[in-house]
Amino acid sequence: MSITSKDNRLSFTVDFNFENGYAYCSGFSLETVVSMRIGAKYRILVKHPEDGKFWTVKGMEKPMPQRETQDVIEKRHHGALRGAEFIFEVFDRDDAPLFNTKFNAQERIPPDGYAPDKIVWTSYSWAFELPERLKEKMN
């Protein structure tokens, strides 16, 4: 395969739902061809409501492929992570950090997300340039 400009970037999408004024992260939407080719791994941290520090989600202490993070969310956390702020970290197959972003989900709650009788679903996406060492692996 030859490299194209699309292959120079890795993107990921995270699903959220909002209900009763709370934000819930239900996991990643899909795995991309680029993330599979470079062996991307992920980790999610959630801001603790009392001490204000970001904590690694139980079961995600080390970076893991998207399907494994999804299994942790579904099996250990009943399908969603509740929190006001999240950090999403992306690593390569050797656990070297590639990207991280802080996301304030509380600020993104739409008006209907405060209603007791409605659930609002939405997705947020991030993309970033791959380091040169990984661009070379895409060839």
- List, for residues 12-58, the tens digit of each pLDDT value: 999 999 999 999 999 998 778 888 888 999 999 999 988 989 999 99
**pTM, rounded to two decimals:** 0.87
Question: How many residues are there in the chain?
Answer: 139
Average pLDDT, the chain: 88
6 and 106 in contact (C-beta within 8 Å)? no
pLDDT band of 3, cuts 50, 70, 90: very low
pLDDT band of 9, cuts 50, 70, 90: confident
The mean per-residue pLDDT over the stretch 112-130 comes to 89
Measure the CA–CA gap between 75 and 97, rounded to whole angstroms. 26
The mean per-residue pLDDT over the stretch 94-122 comes to 91
